[in-house]
Structure 1
């Protein structure tokens, strides 16, 4: 206006409806004085954000450059791990690390990552975990470090939103209406006054400014130096953080905790199912409506299911595996999705909303995952009460994980159980130039005795006849040294049988039993029963590979030992057999990849509950003769002191162990 010497000008804003294509025009006359006020207001607002960012950056760099290791001394091998992590960041490499429990993995990765950030070797760190409990460990480590950075903990939407938001559409939700009008002051407030922003802090500010806490957490993350979140925010094609991972950014670095979990999690992320029943149920619900076009599209999809299942019905097959993604079904689902995208815009207040949206998202997810279909995918067909279910699933997610990891400037993937390392390097997207590093245990090896029942057959055929022997071995374990013990079984069925037999043989011994549907409160009560310095024995029974087999920390005398029944092989099914065949065709040992190593990983995790600190001591009973075979024991952790035993020898071996370690303790 100054350049053209204008006293006033007319400005025009056009709104175009994407549904009806109707155009709404808004015009306004602006004087030079009004324009000056507006310009001044906007630039001052922008300047305030630039200033805030500069202040935060200056404080961060000053804090990180002064950062010291927060303890008086490193644990054994901890400094070596920290140095390896720092070098991986500086060289923008991928590092695979197996570091036994007690190494201090969280601090050994987070500390060097923040030091590297202070020296401009990376701009932002993502700490990715499989569980909420491990996210909390990262938070605790950050609190100990006491650095002036901005960090956010991301949680799932259903955990973040307020109760009153549930089931509300965005255009009815008071926390979403006008969200961006209130976002800037909320962001400025929280960034100026908070450094670590977890669920409680974020919800507190979201309530203050009446904005949606989940969306707020994502917007906060853009201003953060450390983002602590679940694996799916990087790896899941359905929910990954598009604001960070739509393109490569060498300034991002990934710390991936409990990386052994990522293999199965990745397979789950690239698995999707679509079911005939969902479409049939929706047709029934809509039969009295006027949604003729929608019903026609649904019936077209159902007809494709009919074509798919006809051969299975004819040959009485309940399950079938294919190496193609059924193009005719996929095409009909794509047409259904295209139709629904238009239909949903035109029908805002429609009936049976939940059922319609469930069908839409099931089809959409199935197509999304099908887009990745290649030689590493398979299609599983299953019939349940005459209804067809189609599942696409990934056998080997390594290439997909590699693509996700390539979006950053390197990664450290670490776990207490990452053996054999080449196996995990291959399956977790390890490039040929990735690095592998194994640390020795920092704890005295003599504090843990691993005992193998070398003449106990625990294959399915012999389990029932050897149940009484198993119970006697567990009884001997608790009798040799009264305390708390965990017994892990490969299934709830076997667990129930063992518990029943144990209670009959030892009716005075207190027992606890994991159930398949435990609430969060029940889980806490289960763990709370493991008291330190117990005066009598507690024997708890849990499922191998379940919630109590990893991620729990029972230090001191809260846990004296575990007994593990069988080698933990995954169940025999079509999908696991497909995985075996896939690796066999590649010239690799398919049974090892599909069954043996996943089973052993569950065993190692369960055994890892016993020794948590340098003062802990205890026993691990491996109750299956297969553990004494070379194909299994060659993968045992190098720090394990292993001894085979017979039924008669066990009590004496246990008595000798406890006498030795207790004398040493005194």
Structure 2
């Protein structure tokens, strides 16, 4: 196998030592580094006529089945012909504002390895008596230099290169041997159950073809039909057939991550060489919450690079790498669990992670595609959430009062000077555009703002994020970094972004909002070797393809509606239009009470807003069987809410669509009789949605109807979440009978239109059919 690697990457993999230190990044931009290095090289050429800059080198190394080619460019080479000897000089140049004597070992060890590897790779035509390696640090402002010189023999440097290359090749050989076993098992891998159900087989077939042919499949199948295993199985088969090297499973929820891990663990039973890892958010896995990533604050940062290779090897041997496994090894080996999970992901066959590690431009994982894992398939679970999540990733917001307070807290005078033009831009342009309370949308806010933000980060790059001692300052700097990133993406599609200014009597908020992230989703997905986007809520598929900026096959599970398993009733004679709500609230409350008494079990009653929920709940104020979701509920309150819903018979749980109880939590099915969805709940008209509506022929659908109906279908999906569940969905509003709304209904629904007076007999008939 032919493998190519750069000198820097090889040095980092084999020789990096020391601590994680969030202050260790080079305090000079790439632009400064190039300019400083060129100027220094020119000075060296004046002093040493034989000095050559940017000398390309490459060297091959063979080990077992690995043919390794190491390549790079030496910053400086010279042959010094002195009185008694001829000396070869190999120089590596680093630009930094730090005191060279205080550069952390995690950086210095890599720098030292680089120059020694270059010296071992350089083929010199002239006979030399010795080799001098020079590691030179140059200050970009003063041009002051500090040089570390070391003299070694040609034989010593040759041995150093070979030992380094062998170390890397031994690791690669072990990985390649495992991959061969993985592929052999995956090629003959069978579906882990005796039979496919009627939804799994179409998904598995279409999914394999999509990953093989590098297309983008959109697939809808109901909750509880085994979508996860039906998506992961063809991905593993594609690996076995040589079509993929790795699969990334992106999901919006931790429950989705657990389901994916369970599916890969199931597949692993027939393929011991298959490795999967779950990458969790850094703040969730941190073992020293609140501490900075520095050796003086975190014991797991201290000496991390001395031990992380052994820790990685231990986890790769386990095969199934979840958060518990990562925590256990991190504690045992005293390494950072988050960085450990990233190292394991680099060598794993399946990486399970949140959407942001794939689509967020600030935290995308570059290691998902690597030398041995170039062709990576992408699985996107809960894909109905993708547009909203990516839209948020490409948006940023500033509370100007908070920003002003943060700037006032800055201790570093140079940082304060760099923030001042940004603060002035925010304040002056906001006042000029919106002097009194209200909200406006503008295409451009200030053409000079981008320059000011660029100057901020070009001046000191990442150092700014660690120079600030206050959380508020760091938060503002991070949001400014996101603004800078969004600016670069926005330049390609300015019409799909808008500035929103909102002013009240006490606050001013400035937001750069992404309206439609289709181009970014398309660009990101294009870096993968095919994708499968799947959910129980993907109708109509053409609309989701439009939102995602993708083309490709659209598949829906063709299930025969089974009214004995799921009955869907539409009650059209109670209007839930906003203007009718106060008038129809008593009739709606009466119908809900009738539903409660007609069927044994609890009911989820989903409303489009808290205001509407409270309006109807007030009609049932004397009932002891009504649970009401509050606007802010902590984890303990949520668990108590779910516990009462599961344990108390005939409980009515009033919840809001789009919230935690209708999308993010699985409810105990044995206690849940059904879901009542009150109103489609179209979002109110807004500046943002009106701008979005104008962007596409599907604008109204994307801006208003699709988000509303996605929440409706998701709320209804809380009932019947497995093949053995039975339940009822009641949709209340006349709009549920109109085609422009019913086109969003899942294909396995068979809605029955009934008047409110006839609903109870229908519910009783359903219960009777379930008992028999």
| Contact 1:554/1:612 (<8 A) preserved | no
Out of 703, 706, 716, the position equivalent to 1:597 is: 706
Out of 314, 324, 327, the position equivalent to 1:189 is: 314
Matched length: 644
Residue of structure 1 equivalent to 2:745: 636
Residues 561 and 164 of structure 1, relative CA distance in 2, 3 Å threshold: closer
442-451 or 61-70, larger mean C-alpha shift: 442-451
In structure 2, the residue corresponding to 1:310 is in which secondary structure? helix
| Contact 2:576/2:733 (<8 A) preserved | yes
Residues 167 and 43 of structure 1, relative CA distance in 2, 3 Å threshold: closer
Distance 2:416 2:648 in 1: 68
Alignment of 1:29-108 (within 5 A): 29-30=151-152, 38=160, 41-108=163-230
When the two structures are superposed, what TM-score results if normalisation uses the length of structure 2? 0.77
Distance 1:173 1:16 in 2: 31
Residues 138 and 8 of structure 1, relative CA distance in 2, 3 Å threshold: same
Out of 253, 259, 275, the position equivalent to 1:150 is: 275
Q: How much does 1:200 deviate? A: 1.7
Distance 2:542 2:182 in 1: 38
In the alignment, does 2:347 pair up with 1:234?
no
Residues 589 and 49 of structure 1, relative CA distance in 2, 3 Å threshold: closer
In the alignment, does 2:658 pair up with 1:545?
yes
Residues 555 and 35 of structure 1, relative CA distance in 2, 3 Å threshold: same
Distance 2:463 2:217 in 1: 49
56-65 or 35-44, larger mean C-alpha shift: 35-44
Distance 2:275 2:140 in 1: 39
Structure of larger gyration radius? 2
Out of 287, 291, 297, the position equivalent to 1:166 is: 291
32-41 or 330-339, larger mean C-alpha shift: 32-41
Distance 1:92 1:326 in 2: 42
| Contact 2:200/2:230 (<8 A) preserved | yes
Q: How much does 1:451 deviate? A: 1.8
Distance 2:462 2:238 in 1: 50
When the two structures are superposed, what TM-score results if normalisation uses the length of structure 1? 0.89
Residues 358 and 248 of structure 1, relative CA distance in 2, 3 Å threshold: farther
| Contact 1:458/1:565 (<8 A) preserved | yes
Query: Mind listing any 5+ residue stretches in structure 2 that lack a counterpart?
Result: 1-119
In the alignment, does 2:519 pair up with 1:519?
no
Superposed CA deviations along residues 9-62 of structure 1, whole A, max 9, x for unmatched, are 554433446687544333444468866875675455334313311331133123
In structure 1, the residue corresponding to 2:326 is in which secondary structure? helix
Distance 2:691 2:363 in 1: 27
Out of 443, 446, 453, the position equivalent to 1:326 is: 446
In the alignment, does 2:537 pair up with 1:417?
yes
Distance 1:307 1:445 in 2: 62
Q: How much does 1:651 deviate? A: 2.0
Aligned alpha-carbon RMSD (Å): 3.0
Q: How much does 1:325 deviate? A: 4.7
Q: How much does 1:168 deviate? A: 4.5
Q: How much does 1:636 deviate? A: 2.4
Distance 1:425 1:112 in 2: 22
In structure 1, the residue corresponding to 2:633 is in which secondary structure? coil
Residue of structure 1 equivalent to 2:421: 300
3-12 or 649-658, larger mean C-alpha shift: 3-12
Residue of structure 2 equivalent to 1:480: 598
Q: How much does 1:660 deviate? A: 3.0
Residue of structure 2 equivalent to 1:225: 349
| Contact 2:561/2:750 (<8 A) preserved | no
Residues 28 and 383 of structure 1, relative CA distance in 2, 3 Å threshold: same
| Contact 1:249/1:408 (<8 A) preserved | no
In structure 2, the residue corresponding to 1:333 is in which secondary structure? helix
Residues 172 and 530 of structure 1, relative CA distance in 2, 3 Å threshold: closer
Distance 1:169 1:20 in 2: 28
Alignment of 1:372-411 (within 5 A): 372-373=489-490, 374-385=494-505, 388-411=508-531
Alignment of 1:123-522 (within 5 A): 123-145=245-267, 146=269, 147-148=271-272, 149-163=274-288, 166-169=291-294, 173-191=298-316, 193-244=317-368, 251-285=375-409, 292-314=413-435, 316-339=436-459, 341=461, 344=464, 352-373=469-490, 374-385=494-505, 388-431=508-551, 434-441=552-559, 444-504=562-622, 506-507=623-624, 510-522=625-637
Distance 1:299 1:32 in 2: 55
Distance 1:73 1:283 in 2: 63
Q: How much does 1:91 deviate? A: 1.2
Higher relative contact order (CA 8 A, sep 6+): 1
Distance 1:408 1:591 in 2: 31
Q: How much does 1:239 deviate? A: 1.0
| Contact 2:547/2:702 (<8 A) preserved | no
In structure 1, the residue corresponding to 2:582 is in which secondary structure? coil
In structure 2, the residue corresponding to 1:332 is in which secondary structure? helix
Distance 2:218 2:462 in 1: 47
Distance 1:518 1:590 in 2: 34
Distance 1:7 1:245 in 2: 43
Residues 18 and 221 of structure 1, relative CA distance in 2, 3 Å threshold: farther
121-130 or 69-78, larger mean C-alpha shift: 69-78
Q: How much does 1:455 deviate? A: 1.4
